[in-house]
Amino acid sequence: MPIKKITSVMFGGPKLDILYVTSMAKPPLPRFPGDGVLRGSLFAITGLGIKGVAEPRFAG
């Protein structure tokens, strides 16, 4: 990944074959180097050859 501060990952898309990765947008902390202009970005990674599992909707 071109960033160091990843906050969450989740599969999505019609076939659940896209991995979405979010990153922290806050200014750099002393223990983490800055991620520059890419901080706070949403990345979509395709072509992994794997799929996520659909979650059932909450029925109330």
pLDDT band for 28, please (50, 70, 90 cuts).
Answer: low
Average pLDDT over residues 9-20: 96
- Per the model's pLDDT, the better-predicted residue between 50 and 38 turns out to be 50
Q: Report yes or no on 53 lying in a domain.
A: no
Q: Report yes or no on 30 lying in a domain.
A: yes
Look at residue 47 and tell me whether its pLDDT is greater than 90.
yes
Q: Report yes or no on 1 lying in a domain.
A: no
φ, ψ dihedrals at 19, nearest 5°: -95, 120
Q: Report yes or no on 11 lying in a domain.
A: yes
Within 8 A by CB and 6+ apart from 33, the residues are 4
pLDDT at 17: 97
User: How many structural domains compose the chain?
Assistant: 1
Provide the domain limits for residue 17: 6-45
Taking the C-alpha atoms of residue 58 and residue 51, their distance in angstroms, rounded to an integer, is 22
Q: Report yes or no on 28 lying in a domain.
A: yes
SS3 label, residue 23: strand
Look at residue 37 and tell me whether its pLDDT is greater than 80.
yes
